[in-house]
Amino acid sequence: MNEEQDLKSIEQVSFRELMQDGFTELLMGLVLAAMPLFVLRPSLISIFVVFYIIFLPPFFEMIRKKYIYPRIGYVKMYEDEPPRVTLRLVAVLALLIVSVATIIYLVGTGTIEEDLVYRWIPAAFGLIMCAPSIYFKEKSGQNRYYLFGAAMTITGVVVGVTPVLDPNIVSPLYFIVWGLFFMILGLVKYSLFVRKFPIVDMPEDGRVDL
């Protein structure tokens, strides 16, 4: 039992070290800033999902190998039951696609009003963001990750229950503001990361003066 706890603590410390680079926040900010396009053109969601899964991870891994790992090193942690994780991801993506298709159908048939959908999209997305908040809390052991999902949900609900706000304007603005917030947060974290972990140039003879 103690060995399992020690291993989990080591994994959490390693995860926190990796999360210092700010790349996760930058990626989240870019995704959120692009969300208004998906609200206006839902057909772009499937293209984005493919792009996000296939192209973005290798791109960010390449960036990390060039700018991040030389500063803090690289350790590949063993992950239990990777097939189950993959199945969960597929299930979540399938549920998302079905939900979006259902909403598009209901709006197209006039069953629900388009403005009502736009008004409550931020709140729904905030609830969705609670899942990664819980994931990052478990991986890092830091409760502060709960704040992101809670804050995005609360602001989304405020948008939904405030009748004076035009959903066609405030809903896209919700994603843009949160996107800018995460991008700025990512840039600040990366700046601090670079200062905290400078790359030490090794001499040609390999000797290091202490």
| Residue 161 to residue 156: CA distance in whole angstroms | 9
Residues 119-131: tens digit of each pLDDT: 888 888 888 888 8
The model's confidence at residue 185, banded by pLDDT at 50, 70 and 90, is very high
Residues 130-173: tens digit of each pLDDT: 888 888 888 888 898 999 989 999 999 998 888 877 878 888 89
Q: Return the top range by mean pLDDT from 53-62, 94-103, 144-153, 190-199.
A: 144-153
CB 126 within 8 A of CB 152: yes
Phi/psi region, residue 200 (left: phi>0; alpha: psi -120 to 50; beta: rest), is: beta
pLDDT at 46: 64
Closest residue by Cα to residue 194 from 64, 68, 73, 75: 68
pTM for this entry: 0.72
Instruction: Judge whether residue 6 has pLDDT over 80.
Output: no
Instruction: Judge whether residue 202 has pLDDT over 60.
Output: no
pLDDT at 3: 60
Q: What is the mean pLDDT of residues 172-182?
A: 94
pLDDT at 45: 63
Instruction: Judge whether residue 208 has pLDDT over 70.
Output: no
What are the domain boundaries of the chain?
2-196
The model's confidence at residue 182, banded by pLDDT at 50, 70 and 90, is very high
Identify residue 199 by its one-letter amino acid code.
I
Residues 11-67: tens digit of each pLDDT: 888 788 778 888 889 888 988 898 888 766 766 666 666 666 677 777 777 877 777
| Residue 22 to residue 202: CA distance in whole angstroms | 26
